Amino acid sequence: MNARVAESMRFGPLVVSFDARVLRPRPWTVAQSTWAAELVANAPEGDLLELCAGVGQIGLVLASLVPRDLVLVDADPNACHHARGNAAAAGLSARVDVRNGPMHEVLAPDERFAFILADPPWVRSDDVARFPADPLAAIDGGSDGLDLARLCVDLIGRHLTRGGAAILQLGDAEQVADMGSYLDSNPEIGLSVDEVRTPTGDGVLVGLARRP
């Protein structure tokens, strides 16, 4: 099959487009959008950010539920092309800014966000062969699966408004424990694990809050 042929699927209230060159949206991750909407209700004023957004479906569902502007970031130009199309199809283009590039290069140092989603690649390098249909750059998180997740929390620490919150997607309980240890041993990041949810699916959702 031609990998460039666009497919579409329902994701929560939206219909989103993607192709075989990007990670196929996983229906369970809509739980990340709905949990985020609950937390945004108590977040300070300010915009939303999604790191490693892929075709943007998780952040776009959140933006469809809460009236705030959204920045979507992904390193893959094709994923960003779909994300722009998905924002347009959802009627959200005026509120959504899609930025293509490595996440540590596309945010201005003084930008702050009230709520941040992050869905980094989290498969351990030794395990990527178990997912032959998925693009390597979308799933390979390095030896412990946390290389990109650590980059995400470093950025969240720098760009989250005081009083804001974040939800990070990881693969399993061992990674959650390792991330908690990383945050505890790097208090200058200013974040801690606040709550962990395990919806039915292949990953874990980690709520992050500012350290008191």
Ligand X SMILES: C[S@@+](CC[C@H](N)C(=O)[O-])C[C@H]1O[C@@H](n2cnc3c(N)ncnc32)[C@H](O)[C@@H]1O
Residues that bind ligand X (CB under 6 A): 23, 25, 29, 52-54, 58, 73-76, 79, 102-103, 119-121, 137-139, 148
Q: Which amino acid is at 39?
A: L
Nearer to ligand X by C-beta: 44 or 199?
199
Min separation Cβ 203 and ligand X, Å: 9
Which residue, chain included where needed, has tokens 């930008």?
A: 111
Min separation Cβ 204 and ligand X, Å: 13
Report which of 85, 98, 70 is spatially closest to residue 19, judged by C-alpha positions: 85
Instruction: Please name the residues in contact with 163: beta carbons below 8 A apart, sequence gap of 6 or more.
Output: 43, 44, 114, 210
Nearer to ligand X by C-beta: 12 or 121?
121
Reported as type and span, the H/E element at residue 118 is: strand 113-118
Min separation Cβ 20 and ligand X, Å: 13
Nearer to ligand X by C-beta: 43 or 103?
103
Residue whose CB is nearest to ligand X in the complex, by number = 54
Min separation Cβ 212 and ligand X, Å: 30
Nearer to ligand X by C-beta: 37 or 192?
37
Min separation Cβ 45 and ligand X, Å: 25
Contact between 173 and 186 (Cβ < 8 Å): no
Report which of 101, 111, 110 is spatially closest to residue 70, judged by C-alpha positions: 111
Residue 84 burial class via C-beta count within 10 angstroms: exposed 0-12, middle 13-18, buried 19 and up: middle
Strand partners, 90: none
Min separation Cβ 69 and ligand X, Å: 18
Nearer to ligand X by C-beta: 77 or 212?
77
Nearer to ligand X by C-beta: 104 or 211?
104
Within a 10 A sphere around the Cβ of 178, how many other Cβ atoms? 17
